[in-house]
């Protein structure tokens, strides 16, 4: 049976076999060096996005974020690392040829890493590929598509409301334009209000003239009637009396025609006034309708702008924070880390081996054991 574990004996045991850990560490370091040089270097490109909270009327509301809100922003990380988006990127950059046997999930674990540092609104996208240019382009593509999909998703819930507001605005504009066309057609109708007013003025002047002539004819008839009475008393003026009767008949006929013309002018004036009144009423009615529809159109357009503004500021706004650069230093293999890790594991393994060998060594004879030194008592 082996001796109990004693640190001085174990130290002497390891010291006598120091070549074992040194040889193990050197061999492991050599293997790690060779493997690191053989492996294809890979480059990691990083792109950062920032997620702004919804805008509000109160500026303080935009910075009053809670841990629960920050935790909810991790949904954007799921959006950036979705399988469909990753598959689109692979197809775009031709990184997975048709018929490849490697599963896309396994490939994504090797290539893509999406994270959000704790208590921040920053979304980091890291892509690792052998080609640094493709790695950076791949990361930028994922960032751009994430922003586009985020905006599309935030607006998807408002599309119905926006569509209804657009339809109402278009219909309100159509109704106003139709009413305005009817109004302009009424104003441009011939004869128009100005022409009818001019016609009424001419009719009034004609009526005044006709009435003046009719009054003159009536006075002339009265005067002729007086003269006839005087001439009727004289028997020797029969010829003049006949001439006077003829003039009286002619004057009465002219007065009758003037009365008829005056009646026709009054009827024409009444018809013209009626047409003018109807036209003015129609123009006023169409003008009121057009003004009402114009106000309704402006109201619908204002509502559409308000809906669009609300849709733009309702959801979070995601934008590019750091576009990143083409990486110049490979992220793997890490030569120094591999050497240190290999040497450390080799040393740990060799010390484990030496410990086990020390515990399983044969028991030493009692005479060969070192005697403890006794301190003499005075």
In the chain, which ranges are E strands? 43-52, 112-115, 122-129, 317-322
> Which strands form 112-115's sheet, in the order they lie side by side?
112-115, 122-129, 43-52, 317-322
CA-CA distance, 287 to 296, in Å (whole number)?
14
In order of 62, 125, 225, the CA distances from 121 in angstroms are: 12, 13, 116
Contact 157, 253 (CB under 8 A): no
Contact 29, 352 (CB under 8 A): no
CA-CA distance, 280 to 42, in Å (whole number)?
85
Residue tagged 């959000």 (tokens): 116
What pLDDT is stored for residue 8 in this prediction? 78
Handedness of CA 261, 262, 267, 273 (dihedral sign): positive
Torsions phi, psi of 323, nearest 5?
Answer: -70, -10
- Fold type of domain 162-311: Helix Hairpins (1.10.287)
Q: Which residues contact 132 (CB under 8 A, 6 or more apart)?
A: 43, 45, 326, 327, 328
Strands 122-129 and 112-115: antiparallel
What pLDDT is stored for residue 61 in this prediction? 47
- 105 is written with which tokens? 């999930």
Q: What is the pLDDT along the chain (378 residues), one digit of tens a residue?
A: 445 557 777 777 777 777 878 888 888 778 877 776 676 778 899 999 988 776 554 444 444 556 666 666 777 788 888 888 888 888 888 887 665 667 888 888 888 999 888 878 888 999 998 888 999 999 999 999 988 888 777 666 677 778 888 899 999 999 999 999 988 888 887 787 888 888 888 888 888 888 888 888 888 888 877 777 777 666 556 677 778 778 888 888 888 888 888 888 889 889 888 888 888 888 899 899 999 999 999 999 998 888 877 766 655 678 888 888 888 887 776 667 777 887 888 888 887 877 777 777 775 554 444 544 444 443
What pLDDT is stored for residue 127 in this prediction? 92
DSSP codes, 234-285: -GGGHHHHHHHHHHHHHHHHHHHHHHHHHHHHHHHHHHHHHHHHHHHHHHHH
What pLDDT is stored for residue 70 in this prediction? 66
The pTM (predicted TM-score) of the whole model is 0.48
DSSP codes, 140-156: HHHHHHHHHHHHHHHHH
Give the closest residue to 279 by CA, choosing from 180, 176, 196, 198: 196
């Amino acid at each position: 049976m082996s001796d109990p574990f004693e640190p001085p004996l174990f130290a002497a045991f390891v010291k006598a076999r120091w070549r074992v850990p040194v040889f193990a560490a050197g061999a492991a370091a050599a293997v790690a060096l060779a493997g690191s040089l053989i492996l294809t270097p890979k480059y990691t490109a990083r792109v950062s996005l920032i997620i702004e909270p919804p805008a509000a009327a109160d500026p303080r509301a935009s910075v009053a974020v809670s841990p629960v809100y920050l935790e909810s922003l991790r949904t954007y990380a799921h959006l950036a690392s979705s399988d469909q988006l990753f598959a689109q990127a692979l197809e775009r950059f031709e990184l997975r040829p048709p018929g490849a046997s490697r599963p896309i999930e396994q490939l994504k674990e090797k290539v893509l890493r999406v994270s959000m540092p704790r208590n921040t609104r920053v979304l980091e996208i890291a892509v690792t590929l052998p080609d640094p240019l493709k790695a950076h382009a791949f990361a930028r593509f994922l960032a751009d598509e994430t922003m586009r999909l985020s905006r599309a998703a935030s607006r998807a819930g408002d599309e119905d409301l926006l569509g209804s507001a657009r339809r109402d605005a278009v219909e309100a504009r159509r109704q106003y334009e139709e009413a305005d066309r009817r109004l302009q057609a009424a104003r441009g109708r011939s004869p128009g209000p100005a022409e009818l007013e001019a016609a009424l003025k001419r009719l009034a002047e004609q009526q005044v003239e006709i009435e003046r002539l009719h009054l003159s004819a009536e006075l002339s008839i009265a005067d002729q009637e007086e003269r006839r009475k005087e001439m009727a008393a004289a028997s020797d003026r029969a010829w003049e009396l006949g001439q006077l009767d003829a003039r009286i008949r002619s004057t009465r006929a002219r007065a009758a025609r003037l009365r008829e013309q005056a009646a026709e002018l009054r009827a024409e004036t009444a018809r013209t006034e009626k047409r003018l009144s109807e036209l003015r009423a129609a123009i006023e009615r169409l003008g009121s309708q057009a003004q009402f529809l114009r106000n309704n159109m402006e109201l619908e357009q204002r509502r559409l702008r308000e809906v669009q503004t609300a849709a733009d500021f309702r959801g979070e706004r995601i934008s590019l924070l750091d576009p990143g650069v083409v990486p110049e230093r490979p992220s793997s293999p890490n030569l120094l880390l591999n050497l240190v890790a290999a040497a450390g594991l080799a040393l740990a393994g060799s010390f484990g081996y030496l410990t086990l060998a020390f515990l399983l060594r044969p028991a030493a004879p009692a005479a060969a054991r070192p005697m403890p030194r006794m301190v003499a008592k005075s």
